[in-house]
Amino acid sequence: MQALHILAIGRNPEIMAVIDRLLNTPENRTGTTVTTDEEARAAFQNTTFDLVLLCVGISEQEGAALTTQLLQLQPGVPVIRHYGGGSGLLDNEIQAALAK
């Protein structure tokens, strides 16, 4: 089974460090976490992602603009909102996105 590549974008570095650990814990999943839009765009130049998690602290306007840019780099990649800061809902949201 191929590993799932997930990019998570948030603004709080300490929380993103925890999300990074959680994303990379299962064997069949790899996670990349970034705190700026520039880093997100750069990550897309090097890796093909299966899913993008946009932390809900990023405003709707910023999130929409970034989503448009990321979809230009990799059309069709699912971009979803992540709620709660890494705890409890992370695996749930990934499961829901992949079920679609």
**Min CB(70)–other proteins separation in Å:** 21
Closer by beta carbon to other proteins, 18 or else 73: 18
Closer by beta carbon to other proteins, 47 or else 59: 59
Which residues of 1-100 form beta strands (DSSP E)?
4-9, 29-34, 51-55, 79-82
Cβ(82)–Cβ(16) under 8 Å? no
How many residues in the chain?
100
Closer by beta carbon to other proteins, 40 or else 44: 40
**Residues near other proteins, by CB under 8 A:** 10, 12, 14-15, 18, 55-57, 59, 83-89, 91-92, 95-96, 99
